[in-house]
Amino acid sequence: MRIISGKHKGRRLTAPKKLPVRPTTDMAKEGLFNILNNRLYFDELKVLDLFAGTGNISFEFGSRDSHEIIAVDSYAGCVQYISKIARELNFPITAIKSDVFKYLERTREKANIIFADPPYNFKDELFSNIIALVFDRDLLLEDGLLVIEHSDQTDLSENPYFSENRKYGGSVFSFFEKKAGHKPDSV
């Protein structure tokens, strides 16, 4: 895995092989950050990275000087690895060991961007639960985005907060946002 841009551009990171993860590919990550680069100022962002795994996405935001990043994963080895690399590279990342759903149910933190990369074999209702928790609990700051990475076998476009998706190989990024004056009946 490598950091594709920012102050640590090109830096290679080697996560322990025993971690139960599927890191976002460089091609997909580059596509995602090109989209975000045209919409956001990274140095002003507060980021929540759910199912953080190796911290791949958190490290990209850190390399681009995002000022606060929270990485949540249920696996202790992932949290330890993210914390170690964050210290080494002086990234403002707080790694939290927690079940993502429990974290979303109890957090009061709001973010400009929430990125979720759950397992590709997730059931549709679990994707819907993530979206519902983010919007029902009002966890996005004004003009915030929820981005969910999923396989091309999953379609999240029927959700009322859905705005667009982009496909990179077998990976898809679906974007969700609160539209002005939009209050869906149910999520």
Residue 10, CB-side half-sphere exposure with 13 Å CA sphere: 0
Least confident piece of the model among 5-14, 47-56, 110-119: 5-14
Query: Using 50, 70 and 90 to split pLDDT, how confident is the model at 183?
Result: low
Q: Scan for tokens 């950091």, then name that residue.
A: 3
Q: Tell me: the pLDDT tens digits for 70-98? A: 999 999 999 999 999 999 999 999 999 99
Residue 23 has a pLDDT of: 73
Q: Scan for tokens 């950050």, then name that residue.
A: 33
Residue 123 CB neighbours (<10 A): 10
Fold of 26-176: Rossmann fold (3.40.50)
Rounded distance, CA 167 to CA 10, Å?
A: 24
Rounded distance, CA 165 to CA 83, Å?
A: 31
Q: Tell me: the pLDDT tens digits for 156-174? A: 999 999 999 999 988 899 9
What mean pLDDT comes out for the span 111-131? 93
Beta strands in the chain (DSSP E): 46-50, 68-73, 93-97, 111-116, 140-151, 162-168, 171-176
Residue 182 has a pLDDT of: 53
What 3-state class would DSSP assign to 13? coil
Residue 13 has a pLDDT of: 86
Least confident piece of the model among 111-120, 132-141, 160-169, 173-182: 173-182
Instruction: Based on DSSP, count helices (H) and strands (E) in the chain, helices before strands.
Output: 5, 7
Q: Scan for tokens 């076998």, then name that residue.
A: 153
Residue 178 has a pLDDT of: 85
The residue type found at 83 is S
Residue 187 has a pLDDT of: 43
Q: Tell me: the pLDDT tens digits for 12-68? A: 888 778 877 777 777 888 999 999 998 889 998 999 999 999 999 999 999 999 999
